[in-house]
Amino acid sequence: MLFFLALFIYQACKQEMVLLEMGAAGEGLGLHYGTSEYTIEERAEEPRRKKPGLIQRWLQWRAERRRRREEQQRQEEERRLDQILEKVNLHGLHSLTEEERRFLNRVSAKYRNRHSS
């Protein structure tokens, strides 16, 4: 008997929590706490905005971190490219080291691919 009473109280509390979360406590029973004329069914149809869960926040954090890292790398490549092009302008293409030539070819290919897509 005590078990059924506890079960009934639990179920009543759970139902009340659902109503409170929907903001519809007492509506439909003639008890209006505000000026809202919504029924429980109308409120249930409204989309609820959920805050992102742990995994979603982690994925967003990773994507943002990746975006920042790529932006930083892009800025560094542009800075180095400007230095190399300045060197070519002042001293000619023959003044570049092998590593600078490889960098220039790699960045040039990246720019061509980016603009052709």
Q: Is residue 54 part of a domain?
A: no
Q: Is residue 94 part of a domain?
A: yes
Q: Is residue 71 part of a domain?
A: yes
pTM, 2 dp: 0.50
* Of 57, 25, 61, nearest in space to 40 by CA: 25
| pLDDT values of the chain reduced to their tens digit, one per residue, 117 residues | 888 888 889 998 888 888 777 765 445 554 545 555 555 555 656 667 778 889 999 999 999 999 999 999 999 999 999 999 999 999 999 999 999 999 999 998 988 888 776
What is the pLDDT at residue 74?
93
For residue 53, give the amino acid letter: G
Distance in angstroms (rounded) separating the CA atoms of residues 19 and 33 = 13
What is the pLDDT at residue 19?
76
What is the pLDDT at residue 73?
94
Q: Which domain holds residue 88?
A: 59-117
